[in-house]
Structure 1
């Protein structure tokens, strides 16, 4: 039996098991595979919204994105689909109508010889990674998923009798866990999710970039006077995927955009890599010099505050500029909507 046949045969068994009749999406299951460093974590979808499927988090780092997604959904609405995508880092298996699945997926299913029929019954795999366009799984993923699904079918079946565990109030966040040994035997227990993972992605310990500029550059910009204005600043993904020059998986480029609220003018719009702190710092001081003055305050979207602060906090503190998180950037929100419409056209 080749990998595709084995994969879709297991997928059909998962579909027929109807786990979403009993599991809520926050009833996370943990499975420790013998040759896997971290446990694999699975969320079962469908009981609440009738969108049937599974989210497979390959390790603890990916699980932190699950909690980040929950946190952001609870405390603020996602402004766009691209913003929501940045909280996804996992493999999803969703069951869709036949007419809604991509042609490539249909060809794989057809070639496997495994039959699927009915509404919301056709499997679609998607690999999610922040900054990248949702993509098809690769052959390495197929082998991994076969190993997971073989264990998930029996584990989720057995744990059905223990789901009342998730209804109890817990001092720590625990999930049902099955640990497999190389000989196929297993032990059932509970897994305490580390506090750092529960905090999500953005609240994990952040390394603030040092000032990457020369003393001459800093002296020059420090001599600028404070202006009576506030800047809005954002570094966010643009929802139009771009294929890298060397090919491969399409990416969502990041755009640094700055607006001066005093005259309602966009003063910077430049594509950047969020990890290139030196480039971002240099753009800011060039803006200050071009505007002949420093803003006493720069406001940023609260959801991206940590990411932006990691690049700019030390620089702005030295320049006596306050970096302030806010729930919404009034001027840039409108500007970004107009830009998205432009890209769509």
Structure 2
């Protein structure tokens, strides 16, 4: 359901209070804490931005899936541009020119005014594979409002020692939880470990035809070299009628020794597991050779390829860099950024 005028007013008030408090003066983005959504129990993991003096606001990473992308960014192990991977609600204070027309209209209708650089609040929903967009539901607006209010409670409580937020036992994170009361909600702090990621959220390829596999194996002429494989988003958002703008994906296989692109294909996100496995199998079938090793920077590639790895007894390695593939990938991205395609 679309947010009401009252819900928007409460969110802008929470954003204004958050900005006045200037929590980023003593909190860094690494001082993570959680806020449990009273509506559904999902925990949003909050990161206050602005200590570095560049971007001011707060991101609320949704559930363990969102938390993992945040940790990947902190440790530089995400394997892809955060723009395409983040799963969060975000408040940021930006320049007027960065707002959508509907946001400027909304601010005017609410009787609000903002002046100066980095002074205009924007509220965005980031979802992997989609263009970040303004909040569209009352549930999102309500949760971000609560998260900002609870962020002030946490920041003020830990002002003298924000590093205490890093001292939870094991993987536990300080989390604000609420129980209904006669006066609304009673909030308290608990140290809770994130829930495990559901395995069903990681796609796997459908079983491959065993007869086809057997035929391919009989025709193999040996093994040669290292193949680098990656699946990634392309910076060319597509808007289809009635749908949110999204980033298309590509899968690329490159021979490390020669730099030759062995195969690539544009992929619908929902088909990524099947298409990645099929692309690899097609290459093997066409050239009649297996790689000595497969390299990838994203563990999910190996999940998509699990049947192929098992069927051909392939050696697979995670790495921080794919030297040959990166060059081909950069050329492809540049091609699309220049308006081709």
Partner deviation per Cα, 1:292-343 (whole Å, 9 max, x = no partner): 322232222x2x1x21111213323321332222322222211111111211
- Written as runs of structure 1 = structure 2, the 5 A alignment for 1:322-341 is 322-341=315-334
Q: Which residue of 1 aligns with 2:282?
A: 286
2-structure distance, mates of 1:261, 1:13: 53
Alignment gaps of 5+ in structure 2: none
* SS of structure 2 residue aligned to 1:109: helix
RMSD: 3.0
1-structure distance, mates of 2:155, 2:325: 49
What's the offset of the Cα at 1:211?
Answer: 6.6
2-structure distance, mates of 1:311, 1:287: 16
Contact 2:233/2:248 (8 A) holds in 1 = yes
Partner deviation per Cα, 1:102-136 (whole Å, 9 max, x = no partner): 43322221221122233321111121111111112
Contact 1:178/1:187 (8 A) holds in 2 = yes
What TM-score does the superposition give when structure 1 sets the normalisation length?
0.82
2-structure distance, mates of 1:158, 1:228: 60
Q: Which residue of 2 aligns with 1:265?
A: 260
Q: Which residue of 1 aligns with 2:141?
A: 142
What's the offset of the Cα at 1:222?
Answer: 0.6
Greater mean deviation of Cα atoms: 141-150 or 20-29: 141-150
Greater mean deviation of Cα atoms: 207-216 or 1-10: 207-216
- Written as runs of structure 1 = structure 2, the 5 A alignment for 1:173-212 is 173-183=171-181, 184=184, 186-194=186-194, 196=196, 209=204, 212=207
1:121 aligns with 2:125: no
2-structure distance, mates of 1:26, 1:338: 34
2-structure distance, mates of 1:127, 1:210: 29
- Written as runs of structure 1 = structure 2, the 5 A alignment for 1:286-325 is 286-300=282-296, 302=297, 304=298, 306-325=299-318
What's the offset of the Cα at 1:11?
Answer: 1.7
- Written as runs of structure 1 = structure 2, the 5 A alignment for 1:61-76 is 61-71=65-75, 73=76
The structure-2 alpha-carbon separation of the partners of 1:271 and 1:9, relative to structure 1 and needing over 3 Å to count, comes to same
* SS of structure 2 residue aligned to 1:218: helix
1-structure distance, mates of 2:137, 2:185: 27
Q: Which residue of 2 aligns with 1:30?
A: 34
Partner deviation per Cα, 1:130-176 (whole Å, 9 max, x = no partner): 111111210332233334445444x2465245645627755424444
* SS of structure 2 residue aligned to 1:116: coil
- Written as runs of structure 1 = structure 2, the 5 A alignment for 1:216-235 is 216-223=211-218, 224-235=220-231
* SS of structure 2 residue aligned to 1:127: strand
Contact 1:256/1:269 (8 A) holds in 2 = yes
Q: Which residue of 2 aligns with 1:85?
A: 83
What TM-score does the superposition give when structure 2 sets the normalisation length?
0.83
- Written as runs of structure 1 = structure 2, the 5 A alignment for 1:159-174 is 159-161=157-159, 163-164=161-162, 166=164, 169-174=167-172
The structure-2 alpha-carbon separation of the partners of 1:226 and 1:100, relative to structure 1 and needing over 3 Å to count, comes to same
The structure-2 alpha-carbon separation of the partners of 1:129 and 1:189, relative to structure 1 and needing over 3 Å to count, comes to same
2-structure distance, mates of 1:6, 1:112: 11
The structure-2 alpha-carbon separation of the partners of 1:270 and 1:216, relative to structure 1 and needing over 3 Å to count, comes to same
Contact 1:95/1:120 (8 A) holds in 2 = yes
The structure-2 alpha-carbon separation of the partners of 1:335 and 1:195, relative to structure 1 and needing over 3 Å to count, comes to same
* SS of structure 2 residue aligned to 1:181: strand
Contact 1:97/1:120 (8 A) holds in 2 = yes
Contact 1:297/1:323 (8 A) holds in 2 = yes
1:12 aligns with 2:16: yes
What's the offset of the Cα at 1:263?
Answer: 4.2
The structure-2 alpha-carbon separation of the partners of 1:228 and 1:64, relative to structure 1 and needing over 3 Å to count, comes to closer
2-structure distance, mates of 1:149, 1:168: 20
Q: Which residue of 2 aligns with 1:236?
A: 232
Task: Report the number of matched residues.
Answer: 329
